[in-house]
Amino acid sequence: MNISRHEQRALHVLALGGCILHERGDGRLITSVTCVTREGMILAGFDLGLFNRLRRKRLIESRAGSPYRLSKRGRVSVRAQLDNQGA
């Protein structure tokens, strides 16, 4: 599966314990998203288009309206990086 650099960056944040907070409009449509690291920092460059690509590839998932997290397929797809060891 081809995963872009921005998608990999978001997957690394999620693999280290981050989450994606989402807000809905009037209906079921998601209007804004924010990717938050486990330390509470916001990932720059994460937008609704990137969120939709990750969700379409089933790399992220939400259960019972909770924030989006990394799915099992996302854990398998993320590439290891030496600088992302979660220490």
User: Distance between CA atoms of 23 and 25, rounded to whole angstroms?
Assistant: 7
The confidence score (pLDDT) of residue 79 equals 78
Is the pLDDT confidence value at 84 over 80? no
Asked if the structure places residue 10 within a domain, the reply is: yes
Over residues 18-67, the pLDDT tens digits come to 999 999 988 889 999 999 999 999 999 999 999 999 999 999 999 998 99
Asked if the structure places residue 80 within a domain, the reply is: no
Residue 65: domain span: 5-74
The confidence score (pLDDT) of residue 81 equals 66
Is the pLDDT confidence value at 85 over 80? no
- For the chain, how many structural domains are there in total? 1
Residue 68: exposure state from Cβ atoms within 10 A (0-12, 13-18, ≥19): buried
How large is the greatest C-alpha to C-alpha distance in the chain, in angstroms? Answer: 43
Asked if the structure places residue 64 within a domain, the reply is: yes
DSSP 43-72: PTT--HHHHHHHHHTT-EE-STTPPBEE-H
Asked if the structure places residue 61 within a domain, the reply is: yes
- Stated pTM of the model: 0.85
Taking residues 68-77, what's their average pLDDT? 92
Asked if the structure places residue 53 within a domain, the reply is: yes
